[in-house]
Amino acid sequence: MDWLFIVLIFIFGTLVGSFINVLGLRYNSGLSPVNGRSRCLSCNAELKWFDLVPVFSFLFLLGRCRFCKSKISYQYPLVEFLTGLVFVGVVARQISLWPLYSNFENGMGYCIFLAVYYFVVFSLLFAITIYDFRHKIIPNSFVYWFIGLALFKLFLFMYIKYPGLDNQDILDLFAPLFLFIPFALLWYFSSGKWIGFGDAKLVFGIGALLGFVYGISAVVLGFWIGAIWSIIMLISSKLLKREDSVNMKSELPFAPFLIAGVIIVFLLRIDVMNISSFLGN
């Protein structure tokens, strides 16, 4: 890819990431995510446009408010940077699949459509991540939109391939239920103590988005990432004796780890369980 094109996509991604931060923070707060000026959460000072340049404003201000010098959360530049990175990854993936799309009658349009589609899907997943991290709950409106978009893609692909569907396609069709049922059972029998029903709905959408092989891979990878994160937090809490220490009874958001698994598997096409070999792919 041309470097200028990569930079433009990255900048666009950071701008979207900035909006995702606002959406994640203002949702269910009574504030509109599109109206009203941004303000410092500590001193309530109205921020100027040069205080809101994605990533760079945080670096230029050394992570502190220009007015009251209170610390700015690392969430803001991190979400902006990661959104830009994922957008570049989406475009790179679509370009790598161009030989496949070129066989379609309107291959270029289809390729661009899917890129925009994935921009929307991953923006929604980042919003879910922010909200779950802060409130330990997944908003129904976010997860239902995600499920709807994921099912749209699943049925679109089935329609395009019909009547030439193979066994892998049939497995992909049932992947949402295959992933949802174990999570729903865990939620039911634990009365929501082990896992939230929002996570069960989220993995339903993951199955629809990624299919059988990669959906399972994303969930397994999400468990691994979550386990590693939990161990790191437990050790750091013991060593640093922090006030917000984490223990074995602490409630941790699970959606961010599942979504991290989705992003990694989607961009790198990782089959962590080597399921494809058993299916003859």
Final residue before a domain boundary, out of 89, 120, 135: 135
Residue pLDDT, tens place only, 38-97: 887 778 787 887 888 899 998 988 888 888 888 988 999 999 999 999 999 999 999 888
pLDDT by residue (tens digit) across 169-212? 889 999 999 999 999 999 999 888 888 999 999 999 999 999 99
Question: In this structure, what token pair is assigned to residue 83?
Answer: 């959104």
- Are residues 154 and 69 part of one domain? no
Q: Two tokens at 113?
A: 């459509």
Name the domain boundary from 135, 163, 185: 135
- Write the pLDDT tens digit of every residue in 69-80: 889 889 999 999
Q: Could you list the residue range(s) of the whole structural domain that residue 170 is in?
A: 137-281
Q: Are residues 88 and 194 in the same domain?
A: no
Residue 104 and residue 144 in one domain: no
Q: How many domains does the chain have?
A: 2
**Same domain flag for 155 and 279:** yes
Q: Say if residue 25 is in the same domain as residue 1.
A: yes
Unique residue bearing structure tokens 């039911």: 188
Instruction: Write down the pTM of the prediction.
Output: 0.90
Cα separations in angstroms, 149 against 175, 205, 236: 15, 8, 39
Which DSSP string corresponds to 169-192? HHHHHHHHHHHHHHHHHHHHHTTT
Domain finish residue from 89, 105, 135: 135
